[in-house]
Amino acid sequence: MKDTPGDELRAPNVADRSAFEAELDALRVREKAHTHEGDSIAAARRRLPMVEVDGTATLIGPQGAVTLLDTFEGQRDLAIRKAEALGKLPTMGAGPLMRLRVRRLRRGVLAFARAFAHRATPRDAKWLGSAAKTSPLVHWAMRYAGAVIAVDSGDRERARKLLEGAPDWPMQSAFRTFDEELRSALT
């Protein structure tokens, strides 16, 4: 059945059960192909190379120019409020698995903000671990936040384990700074 303009306003055709089943089967084939294509695109996106962001890049805000690294400096409450607001946004149009991934990532962002504000809750370490497994794009950010929580709670062994396998970050990388600061806290 080919869609034409205005079809959404008409009532569907009346058919017998076998005609309905045939059209439903054809639609399921199209849906399955659509899902596989979406999965393929998502996998390709995850394999995209990373781009280093210069932490000294200047952003213009209400108080004038600030560097990217200084954006939330001294504004930990604001970072936490922004992360909480993010968690309340709807995930319209997403299927159940995508909503689950988005929920995990949003919880991870909130746990990340609380970790770096040194205000972690008991469940934050679990949320960070879940977010780290959900997306390779945030994997190390979530692990570093988990290490901050471990250092804050005195669990140096857990912090060391979270830092294991960390890449050799470029000199200008914020991750290099996180890594160096955390490792110095463990010595």
pLDDT band at residue 59 using 50, 70 and 90 as cut-offs:
confident
Reduce the DSSP state of residue 60 to 3 states and report it: strand
Identify the pLDDT of residue 128. Answer: 93
Burial class from Cβ neighbours inside 10 Å (0-12, 13-18, 19+) for residue 124 reads: buried
DSSP state of 118: T
Buried b (16+ CB within 10 A) or exposed e, 134-155: beeebebbbbbbbbbbbbeeee
6: its two tokens: 């205005």
What's this model's pTM, rounded to 2 decimal places? 0.57
pLDDT in tens, 161-178: 998 988 888 887 778 887
pLDDT in tens, 16-54: 999 999 999 999 999 999 999 988 888 888 787 867 766
List the domain boundaries for the chain. 14-46, 69-185
